[in-house]
Amino acid sequence: MTDLCFLTARELRAALGAREVSAREVVRAHLDQIERVNPHVNAVVTLAADRALAEAAAADERAARGAELPPLHGIPVAHKDTHETAGIRTTFGSPLFADHVPDHDELVVERMRAAGVISLGKTNVPEFAAGSHTFNPVFGTTRNPYDLARSAGGSSGGAAAALATGMHPLADGSDLGGSLRNPASFCNVVGFRPSIGRVPSWPAPLGWTGLGMPGPMARTVADAALLLSVLAGPDPRSPIALAEPGEVFARPLDRDLRGLRVAWSPDLGGAVPVEPEVAAVVEESAKVFEGLGCVVERACPDFTGADEAFRILRAWQFAVKFGPLLADSRDRLKDSIVWNTEEGLRLSAVDVGRAEVLRTELFHRFREFFTRHDLLLLPVSQVPPFDAGLEYPARVAGTAMATYLDWMRSAYFVTVSGSPALSVPAGFTPAGLPVGLQIVGPHRADFAVLQAGHVFEQATGVARQRPEVAR
């Protein structure tokens, strides 16, 4: 049954639609894989096995009746533990919510379940999704499948590790400072941060910001696009939702890239320190695009103001979200959340206004950059997977990291631009650790970014390498 666990979601859906395999068989195979592998990596933290098998039986009955089947019929998924799931515990990785069972699905889960997804349970996150390393006092640390002593990234680290090891073929995640892209890079899977408004959020108390957003993860770009076809599209509960229907992302991604104008930079134009083995993978990736017939040039937008804008807007959001918790339960929050929330509480209206001006200026520099280039290739993370016993790496390429945010700049600088950004498997370090490539495109050019990632993925074959623990 392990073979079922490494079929793509598209292959599984085709087999389920043709009734070559039942939803019960698919779910049972993934539950067995979780039982075998999860003790090693700690990716799935709440399991709803009985409910999943009951949902699979209902899905098989629908198929037997000849009813029209939804696009993700019978596909098992464990949802990110910051996404609320009706009837399934959602802890946010916090002891304050260790026994919290929501009475509703949030929008991304609602859409997935309406599309036929079967909910297996929840995947691990950092406490309140703060930071790109997945550990918390409720469930402990998620381990990297390629080296169990290393970080799986975060905040969608449990989702990424579960994908890499065959525990589910698709995953929902979210991304503020790189939380879809960073764990995808660390675990040799795919994570896509869409354009602002592409995947609407609800409930969302800061519904106009668009800084953090949900998005898809998978083992292939085509599967990530398939999930995006379900997650994307307008919703009246989101004031920034784009009107384009999600179905457009279910189209084939094949494309001739000859003549495409591709820029690349190993260090965001010198804006961030990057470990040499990561920079080397970006350089080799640029050569792949050159081999595909693209016009490749070393170039990068000016990221001036991106750091200040992100840190102010993130801290402001922390103050809104966690200010009340800080007042009531300070001693039960991790130090990084306390620090980031206090940073937000010290902000003035002038500070937030300046951040929005800087953010807008960066958007326009990106807009102008993409009149001369079609794509931008960057590192996803500035480091390969690091020691899982650390909260964050103390140094990157010899430069000290003062806070838990500093080493994530290669991802969160792109966040501020509003551009769609894809993390796709690109190579391995000499020590055998995965490194992803970040493919960035113009605002709302999500489909073009996915096409480029798909062609790159097919050309390299890196994504087909599986971790030993999964076997």
Joined tokens for residue 313: 């807007």
Distance, first Cα to last Cα, the chain:
12
Q: Write a three-state SS string for the chain.
A: CHHHHHCCHHHHHHHHHCCCCCHHHHHHHHHHHHHHHHHHHCCEEEECHHHHHHHHHHHHHHHHCCCCCCCCCCCEEEEECCCCECCECCCCCCHHHCCCCCCCCCHHHHHHHHCCCEEEEEECCCHHHCCCCCEECCCEECEECCEEEEECCCCCHHHHHHHHCCCCCEEEEEECCCCCHHHHHHHCCEEEECCCCCCCCCCCCCCCCCCCEEEEEECCHHHHHHHHHHHCCCCCCCCCCCCCCHHHHHCCCCCCCCCCEEEECCCCCCCCCCCHHHHHHHHHHHHHHHHCCCEEEECCCCCCCHHHHHHHHHHHHHHHHHHHHHHHHHHHCCHHHHHHHHHHHCCCHHHHHHHHHHHHHHHHHHHHHCCCCCEEEEECCCCCCCECCCCCCCEECCEECCCCCHHHHHHHHHHHHCCCEEEEEEEECCCCCEEEEEEECCCCCHHHHHHHHHHHHHHHCHHHCCCHHHC
Cβ pair 6, 466 in contact under 8 A = yes
Report the half-sphere exposure of 80 (CA within 13 A, side-chain side).
33
Strand order in the sheet with 44-47: 44-47, 118-123, 76-80
Residues 6+ apart with CB under 8 A from 243: 234
- Annotated catalytic residues are 80, 155, 179
